[in-house]
Amino acid sequence: MKSLKYIIVLGIVTGVTFSSCEDWLDENPKYSVDNTVIFDSEETAKQALDACYGYLTTQDCFGQGVYEMSVGSSGLSWSQTNGSEPDRYASLNATTAGDAVLWAWRGLYKAIQECNTFIVNMNNGSLSEDLKENYTAQASFIRGLCYYYLSMMWGDVPLRIEPSAHDAISEPKSSFIDVVGQIFIDWKYAYDNLPENGEHVDGYIDKLGVAAYLAKLNWMLSCNPDLADRKADYLKDAKFWCDLVYGKYSLQSRYSDLFVNHVQNSPESIFQLNFTTSSDYSWNRLNWIFAADNASPGTAYQRIRSTKAFHDLFRGTYPGDPRYDATFLTRWYDVKNGSSYHLISDSVYTYPYKTYKTKSTSRVADAVAYIPYDQMDDPTNPTVEELTVLQEQFYTENTTTGEKNVVNLVGQFATSVGDHAGWPLWKKQIDFNCQAQQSNNNIILYRYADFLLLMADVYNELDETDRAANLVNEVLRRARTSVSPEASQPVDFPRGLSKDQMRKKIFYERLFELAAEPEMYFDIRRGGTETLKMALEIVNRHDITYEHCEGEAQHNNPDQRFRDRYFGEDATFYGKVSDESFLKKNLHLPIPHSELSANDGLSAADQNFGY
């Protein structure tokens, strides 16, 4: 018996029936809404549409699975090197049997399945044509959104656009371009049939939001090297949709306010998912994924952190950038154990800080050492040699004997120390008021800053490089003005850059602005192995990471569970990732083993390259 377990979500809709409890829990569910249901009241139809949106917020989908795989498998995240599933995907060696891979896959397909049934039942009902078009358009958008994530993260995938039934379990893979074709159909239908002047309500898509997604899809395809022969057409269409959307949204005045509890009606939100801890199925478990256990009242696992390399690239590129403190958590108050025994304001410190004891005849006090980036030749890449010299400014001294003990920053950050202190936390999805495992934070899946940066890339590729710089500078200006007095960083992009220079700068700027957000995995891979290589070489050229992985210090690491990573079989060639097979494999995630076993339309030969 083939078995895939799904979470029950839809159980509130009047007039909707389910297959038997046994089938629902222990078998592949072929449908959850009876295909013969006719929606004859607006209330029932709205409840069913809300349930379609609700499936996006489950633990399988964006409540954990999709988000976890996108950030954790990006190549710029760190997880404990203990042989666990996060170890595998952070090492870019995701397993086909991994829980998070399966959750993400089935969460997206579950939402698709419900949309398929909803669309059929909605159109067979007796409600007004205007309502049918509106609700069907929204369900079509959701289905297209799910296929957008599936195709960008897995490539060729089964394309299901009809309600499932017991005799319709088999479905072979469709080509990436065919899946993309269906996304265009769904989103164009949504755009054509949503009200022209519909009120924007957070948690629901509107006409303008669909236009923004059509701009993004065309831009993503224009970046794809396998579709180079159609690049001009994709850019033309991307520009059309960009011009339609530009100026219709605005940037949140404070960058950090994008990542707080219940961001409602943010002017920057193009589409967001709303969560509540009172729901039985809407589960935002991202605090559990990203936070340290003592950073909030809730239960957390610090499962995914930032690499030191990306942290230093950001910190060194834009010292004083207000986005830094909203992106990384490097020090915090221990809410569970308190910090009364410390004489400093925060009680927990991680990279690039190290706490140490200073001794005197009367007391023992805590002090904090740190990497002095402004004293480095390259602030984006501190070297072990520089730290060895500069760390002598941090020392403990016995006031009786005069004996000094240097604080060993190199030992802390280039050698395993048996704890998590060597890596900063991703901060954006940490909920400092989280209780248990559920967070109140809403998730903006697509925001206007993302749109402005992709629009800049479109205009650059169309040889309007100065216009591209102006668009990027809108985002940078907001970053500077997020604090008072205004910060000096990040500085504006200058005019006069070449097309290649602008393309490269936009790539890194998207990493800084959108770090640890829902599309991190495929944003990095949008240009194929070329852009993936650019991201991974951030890690491979980082001197502290190199010392941790390949230098003399790695032979003396006392705890192998806390190690850095190098990427590619030839990673010992300092700073480079030239293993094309490794890069090609990591353009996509593996198809879950459970899907290959359960879907008679797939075989082992359909597994993605390299898995």
- Which tens digits make up the pLDDT trace of 129-142? 999 999 999 999 99
Residues 231 and 146 in one domain: yes
**290 and 425 in contact (C-beta within 8 Å)?**
yes
* Three-class secondary structure of residue 50 per DSSP: helix
Residues 156 and 203 in one domain: yes
Please give the distance of CA 239 from its chain centroid, rounded to a whole number: 25
Residue 318 lies in a domain: no
Residue 434 lies in a domain: no
- Which tens digits make up the pLDDT trace of 264-291? 678 999 999 988 777 777 789 999 999 9
Residues 63 and 126 in one domain: yes
pLDDT confidence of residue 87: 97
Among 84-88, 241-245, 297-301, 513-517, the range scoring the smallest mean pLDDT is 297-301
**321 and 361 in contact (C-beta within 8 Å)?**
no
Residues 578 and 600 in one domain: no
Residues 279 and 372 in one domain: no
Residues 128 and 231 in one domain: yes
CA–CA separation, 240 and 380 (whole Å)? 38
pLDDT above 90: residue 205: yes
| Average pLDDT of the residues in 59-85 | 96
pLDDT confidence of residue 453: 99
Other CB atoms within a 10 A radius of the CB of residue 473 amount to: 18
CA–CA separation, 321 and 270 (whole Å)? 24
Q: Which residue has the tokens 């086909």?
A: 96
- Binning pLDDT at 50, 70 and 90, where does residue 343 land? very low
Among 338-347, 436-445, 467-476, 503-512, the range scoring the smallest mean pLDDT is 338-347
Residues 175 and 216 in one domain: yes
Closest CA to 448 of 270, 272, 266: 270
Residue 438 lies in a domain: no
φ/ψ of 77, rounded to 5, equals -115, 155
Tell me the one-letter amino acid at 358.
T
Residue 11 lies in a domain: no
User: Is the whole-model pTM more than 0.85?
Assistant: yes
- Which tens digits make up the pLDDT trace of 362-382? 555 677 888 999 999 999 999
Beta strand spans in 263-312 (E): 269-273, 305-306
pLDDT confidence of residue 365: 61
- In order of 1, 41, 111, 256, 590, the CA distances from 177 in angstroms are 33, 38, 21, 37, 19
pLDDT above 60: residue 454: yes
Query: What percentage of the chain reaches a pLDDT higher than 90?
Result: 68
What's the CATH code of the domain at 457? 1.25.40
Residue 105 lies in a domain: yes
Residues 357 and 459 in one domain: no
Residues 233 and 379 in one domain: no
Residues 410 and 486 in one domain: no
Residues 259 and 373 in one domain: no
Tokens of 359: 């001794």
Residue 527 lies in a domain: yes
CA–CA separation, 543 and 413 (whole Å)? 11
Task: List beta partners, residue 197.
Answer: none
pLDDT above 90: residue 337: no
Beta strand spans in 371-521 (E): 395-397, 404-406, 425-426, 443-447
Domain of residue 355 covers 331-423
Q: How many CA atoms lie within 13 A of 310 on its CB side?
A: 30
Please give the distance of CA 371 from its chain centroid, rounded to a whole number: 27
Residue 562 lies in a domain: yes
Closest CA to 4 of 23, 27, 22, 24: 27
The whole-chain average pLDDT of the chain stands at 87
Residue 499 lies in a domain: yes
Tell me the one-letter amino acid at 537.
E
CA–CA separation, 71 and 439 (whole Å)? 18
* Three-class secondary structure of residue 419 per DSSP: coil
Residues 241 and 386 in one domain: no
The domain total for the chain is 3
Tokens of 517: 């957000």
CA–CA separation, 439 and 578 (whole Å)? 41
CA–CA separation, 175 and 157 (whole Å)? 7
What's the CATH code of the domain at 233? 1.25.40.390
- What 8-state DSSP symbol labels residue 199? P
pLDDT confidence of residue 203: 84
DSSP 497-558: --HHHHHHHHHHHHHHHHTTSTTHHHHHTTTTHHHHHHHHHHHHT-HHHHHHHHSGGGGG-S
Closest CA to 184 of 141, 220, 136: 141
Q: How many CA atoms lie within 13 A of 586 on its CB side?
A: 31
